[in-house]
Homo-oligomer: A and B are copies of this chain.
Amino acid sequence: MTEAQAKPNGPMPSAQMERKLAKAVERAQQAFMEKNLRFTQLRQDVFAEIAATHASIGAYDILARLAEKGTRLAPISVYRAIDALLEAGVIHRLESKNAFFACRRIEHRTGRRPIFLACENCNGVQEVDSDGIFETIDRLSAAASFQPRVKFVEVSGLCDACRPGKD
């Protein structure tokens, strides 16, 4: 398949989108400060590109979009920025797609880790409360004498907007 795909969620006033993006960048900056990490220009640019997508995006797509805007980078530079963004917790990695998306940080509201619902059509990612799944994983791990370090719960499918029968 090529890169062409269904447009992301419905039309939205671009002014509103820009305000949202600016807020997201600001929150990211906050997160970096709290962790004593540097929110450099490169990291900000990469984050903004990911956040502007409102979906998951591959490292090389980020690269291409930045190049279109005049910022030509080597892959390694993007990956370094991504590493920092992951460490700061402002983006997540979708293991099943080798892609990244801006964290909406619902765990700040729920106090719990979310699971990811990734749409195969529009690439949008929802984070929904895990409702005890991670605790279950911990329990199952303990029963198997397994020491968990990183846990992935990812679901691939179709989001509401992309469901057949809808338009």
- Contact in complex: A133, B137 (CB < 8 Å): yes
A136 CB → nearest B CB, Å? 6
Q: How far is the CA of A158 from the CA of B146 in the complex (A)?
A: 6
Residues of the B chain whose Cβ atoms lie less than 8 Å from the Cβ of A156: 148-152
> Which B residue's beta carbon lies closest to that of A120?
B149
- Contact in complex: A146, B140 (CB < 8 Å): no
A5 CB → nearest B CB, Å? 16
> Which B residue's beta carbon lies closest to that of A149?
B157
Query: How many residues on A have C-beta within 8 angstroms of the other chain's C-beta atoms?
Result: 37
Q: How far is the CA of A115 from the CA of B56 in the complex (A)?
A: 24
Q: Given contacts A128-B140, A152-B152, are A145 and B133 in contact (CB under 8 A)?
A: no
Interface 1/0 per residue, A113-146 and B, CB below 8 Å: 0010101100000101111110011011101111
Whether A59 is near chain B, meaning CB under 8 Å from some CB there, is no
Q: Could you show 13 A-B contacts with beta carbons less than 8 Å apart?
A: A115-B140, A117-B141, A119-B146, A120-B149, A131-B140, A133-B153, A145-B163, A146-B157, A146-B158, A146-B160, A149-B157, A149-B158, A152-B152
